[in-house]
Amino acid sequence: MKLHQPLVAVTAALALLAGAGCSVMRDQQSVGTYVDDSVITARVKTKFAEDKTVSAMALSVETFKGVVQISGVARSDDERAKAEKLAREVAGVVGVQNNIRVSA
């Protein structure tokens, strides 16, 4: 009987860890949503890199549940607006938070 209790405890702990790891990630975001957000982030960064008016190196992109947050420093209001426009054009984007500052 002594061997039975540790075995039950270990089995229960592994079940809890396995269940938690598969169902929820990053502030209650499912694995599928996390993967979708990663794809959106990559597509926005690619659009920035392909555009001559937007400095992809000066801007950061994060996505959570389809909402893209862009931040960093732009050289002009036009660059700031263009970055937002490019982000909104990506499939799967449900909103954009533009936190880009324009350098003086």
Predicted pLDDT of residue 9: 55
**Domain total in the chain:** 1
Identify whether 60 is part of a domain: yes
Identify whether 6 is part of a domain: no
Identify whether 22 is part of a domain: no
Predicted pLDDT of residue 1: 47
Identify whether 20 is part of a domain: no
In tens digits, the chain (104 residues) has pLDDT values of 454 555 555 555 555 444 444 333 445 667 766 678 999 999 999 999 999 999 999 999 999 999 999 999 999 999 999 999 999 999 999 999 999 999 97
Helices marked H in the chain — which ranges? 4-23, 31-50, 77-88
Q: What is the pTM of this model?
A: 0.69
Identify whether 21 is part of a domain: no
Predicted pLDDT of residue 29: 63
Identify the domain containing residue 82 by its residue range: 27-102
Q: What is the CATH number of the domain that holds 60?
A: 3.30.1340.30
Identify whether 71 is part of a domain: yes
